[in-house]
């Protein structure tokens, strides 16, 4: 029996509208610019490629300009309900947008995974000029 993973959330201020940001979170071409070396999709199945290694995920849910949620194929095969989600949050008063990352990790890997997300999102912010 594997240990339960822990959920963590990270929030990054983004100087971009949800409409401009969302394609970077939801399309293969957008995700290829910051999240993986290459991304392919067929329907709900997305294949992410890093350094020649492939990892597949299924899109579980999405709402245009709001969020998109994926589950890694191996978690699905193992019957786990873990997912990772990109969520765009807009402050009603200031209209400032933030990107929320919601993910699950082994307890001893949370800090390492947060650093990885930090690096990935910085790449995204650089790509969109935010």
Fold of 6-127: Alpha-D-Glucose-1,6-Bisphosphate; Chain A, domain 4 (3.30.530)
The whole model's pTM is what?
0.93
Report pLDDT digits (tens) over 3-20: 799 999 999 999 999 999
In the chain, where the domains are located: 6-127
23-60 burial, b if ≥16 CB within 10 A, otherwise e? Answer: ebbbeeebbbbbbbeebebeeeebbbeeeeeeebbbee
Q: pLDDT for 60-85, tens place per residue? A: 999 999 999 999 999 999 999 999 99
- pLDDT number for residue 2: 57
Q: For the beta carbon of residue 113, count every other beta carbon within 10 angstroms.
A: 18
Which pLDDT score, from 0 to 100, does residue 130 have? 83
């Amino acid at each position: 029996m594997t240990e339960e993973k822990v959920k963590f959330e990270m929030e990054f201020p983004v100087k971009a509208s949800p409409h401009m940001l969302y394609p970077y979170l939801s399309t293969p071409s957008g995700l290829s610019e910051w999240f993986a070396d290459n991304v392919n999709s067929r329907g709900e199945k997305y294949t992410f490629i890093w350094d020649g290694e492939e990892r597949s995920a299924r899109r579980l849910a999405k709402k245009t300009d709001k969020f998109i949620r994926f589950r890694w194929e191996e978690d699905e095969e193992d019957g786990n309900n873990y997912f990772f989600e990109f969520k765009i949050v807009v402050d009603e008063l200031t209209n400032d947008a933030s990107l929320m990352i919601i993910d699950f990790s082994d307890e001893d890997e949370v800090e390492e995974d947060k650093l990885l997300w930090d690096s990935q999102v910085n790449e995204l912010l650089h790509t969109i000029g935010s």
